[in-house]
Chain A
Amino acid sequence: MNLSTILDMAAEAFGDRVGVVCGDTRLTYAELRQKAYAAARELQGSGARHLALLDVNSPAAPVAIFAAAYAGIAYVPINYRLTPDEINELVGRVAPAVLVASDETRAQLDARDEIRVISREQFLSLPTDAAAEPPTPPEDPRAVAVQLFTSGTTGKPKAAILRHENLMAYIVGTVEFGCAEEDDASLVSVPPYHIAGISSVLSSTYACRRMVQLESFDAKTWVDAATREQVSNAFVVPTMLSRIVEHLDESAVQLPSLRSLAYGGGKMPQATIANAMRLLPRVDFTNAYGLTETSSTIAVLGPDDHRAAAASPDGHVQRRLCSVGRATGAVEIQIRDDDGRPVAANAAGLVFVRGGQVSGEYLQQGSLLDGEGWFSTRDRGWLDDAGYLFLDGRADDVIVRGGENISPGEIEDVLLEHPSVADAAVVAVPDEQWGEGVGAAVVLKPEARASVDELQALVKSRLRSSRVPQRIVFRDALPYNETGKVLRRVIRQEMAAAS
């Protein structure tokens, strides 16, 4: 079992179909395979244990994923937005390796004996030989296919590992081979070092759907590419969708070929999805929930769920628009209390998941699966009677005030209802009496005003008094990572340092 089977199948069945589009470059699935073969031959016998990529989206990303698979080594895409020190630290952790870099990222690298740097152009123009015997990929299902450094919103990056069997279980379990229509195209704007960047390559290839790559995201480029390439499908994170919605609103551009828009990677503001559904009434919306450690999507709120929830007079059905949907057929989801016991429907706890695609494994710590294969996502949430999963923040973000667990999300939702508040993040602040107390960083709308007293009174009018933020600071903007997750660690440190 090896990921390269995905590309072999696409190249056998739809070899002439264009698989990758990036700027003026177009590669058919047959050409993609030839380039992956050429790169794999380069890797075999090079002594490299990893193939690293330090670059924006380009055809080098899919070529590298499959080349590493054919060569039987792990593919490690690295976040090019990190500082040079952070990048060099991670590069040191993957030696000996071949590393594909752009001119810009190459300039940040320290020279190292065990790292052979190759430019993107060189990597993509290695000589192909259609007459030569294809490389024979190793078939060990337990071999590591991909290693991803997690974003580290709470600490130093950890190396999550995904084995061939995990990623194959995800693809075979959730995608129908060759299901794309001849003209379908998927717009890829998530970076290659994110799990969604990996799964977009694997899913598109297995569906035999043309992937249209954006080097990096901005709303106008996205809309222009969607129009030019007649894009039918796309995946975006919440911050991308809100910028796309603003751009569509201002420019009055229509996207007639767009049929399906999936979103995930962070909490979607209700106003954003409601606006998007209004501006794109014929588009099917899908909310996908997944983690790096689960090889991507584990729960899906599909187009029919969106429409049923939006149209229902029943509050219980309506609120499913705020859920992440139900478990895909490929995994099981369970909610457990703090003692590890499964809880009944509608009761909150920690979200656990089990299935072949769930690796739950880090290079240093090893497997975090329990004896029965369950993985704790460290997300808090609950399942309703029909199995819809509602998320309620990260377990690590819970504020423990005098033994009482307080979830930041409910307080943030109340603060966001204030007409002057544009953004809000609630975190734990040190408190001598209670251990931890509630702190809030608030961003006001331009020209708008709100006092600390006023915001505290608002929370007090809606929630128990223990939820009222004892400290509120005003900020021009909140820190986010590039996929739209608010960096609570940074806010927490700032507030702790200031107190």
Chain B
Amino acid sequence: MVEITNLYKKFGKNDVLNGINLSIKEGGIFAVLGPNGSGKTTIIKTILGMVIPDEGTIKVFESNIKNNSDYRHKIDYLPQIANFPSNLKVNELIKMIKDLRGHTEVDKDLIETFKLEPFLNKKLGTLSGGTKQKVNIVLTFMFNSPIIILDEPTTGLDPISLIRLKELIQAEKAKGKTIIITSHIMSFVEEVADEIVFILEGKMYFKGSISELKTKTKQQDFEHAIANILTENHV
């Protein structure tokens, strides 16, 4: 599905990724964890081709993504910070993305799920952070792509929307999709993720299921298990 081999990336003098090897299987929810600045977003952006790696290869569905843009038809991406052109209206933005990616009807259901009807004719610059994130979610889930990448999907959401988002993620998983999530909210990850990978300073420290992590670190609780990796690796 997604195969990352020997990935290196530097930003100036800052080594962000130091030889990441990662293989993500088809189907299920895969969480990428790590403290701030550990390179989670950079990994995701390299998969999307927004950041160009210094070394290493990435294959999505068996094909190398270098100098390729068509494979992004198979990926839906929810960016970390919902930055939209501020002078565009919500429905104009949705129409534009549809024009670029293809027709879909799913957006109507999503707009209803997240109660966005009153905002459709408002400019994106005037929306609150949480509402922008909802628009962001609609844009991400309205296409039926086999891979979904969510970068900090819970940011700014109210409890009801958070429940709806979890339902949405589970529904997509039930369709056999692969979902890649990064998050700082450990309870959220524990609830949804089938497999996790822990990244620290651009290196991989753990890959496996949450129960495997708990046995490995001899901790009862997921948050303590994560803290245990951190202290063991003197951070």
Q: A and B, one complex?
A: no
Q: Interface of B with A (CB < 8 Å)?
A: none
Q: Interface of A with B (CB < 8 Å)?
A: none
